[in-house]
Amino acid sequence: MKIKGTLWATFVGAAVAAGVAFVGCGTTNNVDTGGGTSRVGQSCTRTFDCASGLVCLENVCFAAAPVVEAGVSDGGDAGMTSSGPHLGLLKESCQTSRDCQAPLECLGNSCQVVSYNLTSTGKSCSGECNAAADCCELPVGFSPSVQEWFSFNDGGFETVHFLQQSSSVRCEDLLAFVGGDATVCNATTFSQQGVAEGCFYYNAYCKCAASTWACNNNACSYTAPCTTSSNTAGGCPSETRTGRALGATCNMPGGAATGTCQAGCTTAADCSNTFPSGSGHECSQSDAGTGDCTCYQSACYFKCTKDIDCASGSTCDATTSLCKKSGCTTAADCVQSTGNARAQCNAGACQIACSTDIECPTAPSTICSGGFCTAAGCSSDANCTSGTHLFCVTATSTTYASAVTN
């Protein structure tokens, strides 16, 4: 009986050992492709919970795109090597950051970008030009104010020309409108008012001379000589290529034959209601005479002398006599004004405290720099990709506004 018992125990032990070896082999294979059994559409907490060939996205198993490793042919499994457990890609489900591919980290059970490794440039996509040639372009959404402009004798036939009002008028349309010959616009006088207006727009925005525009501080200004303050030959344009308003006034001092288009003021005495102001408030010539106006960066503003002259939340800047946003003094001020519990008062300005980029409300356009969310800014013109073509220039840090009373 002892011999039989010993033989039986030996047989059982060998069987158990063989079973362990079999199970161990199966586990090794699962490490390569996923150890789970969840099928497509079934729940998971990470990709490893899904069956082979599936990935875990938002806690549900989905089919993954096939991946062919370098050196592996379509002829079979020859040459394939084990790459270990699948690490989560962007937005794949996870339990810890170890489930995600670097530099992703596990946040809210999803692999996310935490740091974009960017440095604030201090620039913004706000430049209208880098050179005068950049200003020679029809304004965005350009549309003439009238549809039928003129008729003229074309080879013995009276022809009526139309420029249909639309938001897609181009230089080719203007050229066709004046008869298809740009030399017509070289004249100094015109027999038809329509030709004069069409040529004005064509010369101002399409056939620009070297002296038609200038680029100062990355802003366009019209520099061609003028004889009238209207949108006709010898006139002044009312807007730049980006749609920024210009003062369409021809300044002809002392009865001179020609003048210059004054796009803004140079002194307080220049301010009138034909010039765009800084914040919607306009200074009339009579206001300028009483000393209520000031000229700052070619725009007219109502002056302030004390904080109460400015709108709520602004103070009067003693250097410019203009209103600017009030600085903060406590974190409580910033939490209330921004509605963000992480807001802090940093050097007189409200900023969101952070330790990683993902904590910034609009990452990656804002990044965590020096412990606070800061605008990432642009690094080149190639970063300015939306809307009107703009240039990457040094951002203006302070914005001023007119006084609301004085």
pLDDT for 52-91, tens place per residue?
888 888 889 888 765 444 444 444 444 444 455 788 888 8
Asked whether residue 380 is assigned to any structural domain, the reply reads no
Same domain, 136 and 174: yes
Asked whether residue 282 is assigned to any structural domain, the reply reads no
For residue 127, pLDDT beyond 90:
yes
Tokens 């000229």 map to which residue?
A: 295
* Most confidently modeled range among 35-49, 161-175, 283-297: 35-49
Domain boundary among 216, 236, 260: 260
Asked whether residue 357 is assigned to any structural domain, the reply reads no
Domain boundary among 260, 294, 321: 260
Residue 192 pLDDT level (bands cut at 50, 70, 90):
confident
Q: Terminus-to-terminus CA distance in the chain, angstroms?
A: 116
- Residue 323 confidence (pLDDT): 93
Question: Considering only CA atoms, which of 253, 242, 254, 249 is closest in space to residue 265?
Answer: 249
For residue 252, pLDDT beyond 50:
yes
* Most confidently modeled range among 79-83, 139-143, 269-273, 306-310: 306-310
Q: How far is CA 195 from the centre of its chain?
A: 39
Same domain, 103 and 196: no
Same domain, 132 and 256: yes
- Residue 33 confidence (pLDDT): 42
Same domain, 169 and 46: no
* Most confidently modeled range among 46-50, 185-189, 307-311, 401-405: 307-311
CA atoms within 13 A on the CB side of 146: 12
For residue 161, pLDDT beyond 70:
no
**Percent of the residues in the chain that have a pLDDT greater than 70, as a whole number:** 74
Same domain, 51 and 135: no
Picking from 35-44, 154-163, 196-205, which range would have the lowest pLDDT averaged per residue? 154-163
Same domain, 148 and 241: yes
Asked whether residue 134 is assigned to any structural domain, the reply reads yes
Same domain, 51 and 169: no
For residue 136, pLDDT beyond 50:
yes
d(CA 130, CA 216): 9
d(CA 85, CA 46): 11
Same domain, 146 and 245: yes
The DSSP line for 329-362 is -SHHHHHHHH--TTEEEETTEEEEB-SSGGGSTT
Same domain, 248 and 228: yes
Domain boundary among 199, 232, 260: 260
Q: Which residues span the domain enclosing 50?
A: 35-64+85-114
Same domain, 139 and 229: yes
Same domain, 110 and 187: no
Asked whether residue 106 is assigned to any structural domain, the reply reads yes
Asked whether residue 374 is assigned to any structural domain, the reply reads no
Q: Say how many domains are in the chain.
A: 2
Picking from 15-24, 197-206, 309-318, 390-399, which range would have the lowest pLDDT averaged per residue? 15-24
- For residues 39-64, give the mean pLDDT: 87
- For residues 344-361, give the mean pLDDT: 90
- Residue 213 confidence (pLDDT): 94
- For residues 174-195, give the mean pLDDT: 84
Round the average pLDDT of the chain to a whole number and report it. 77
- Residue 287 confidence (pLDDT): 55
More reliable by pLDDT, 168 or 364: 364
Each as own residue / partner, the long-range contacts of residues 77-80 (CB below 8 Å, 24 or more positions apart, any chain) are none
| Phi, psi dihedrals of residue 328, rounded to the nearest 5° | -90, 165
- For residues 280-299, give the mean pLDDT: 66
* Beta strand segments in 165-298, E: 213-216, 219-222, 225-226, 250-251, 259-261, 293-296
Residue pair 120/367 in contact by the 8 Å Cβ criterion = yes
Asked whether residue 185 is assigned to any structural domain, the reply reads yes
Residue 278 pLDDT level (bands cut at 50, 70, 90):
low
d(CA 223, CA 387): 26
Asked whether residue 4 is assigned to any structural domain, the reply reads no
For residue 344, pLDDT beyond 60:
yes
- Residue 310 confidence (pLDDT): 93
Same domain, 233 and 140: yes
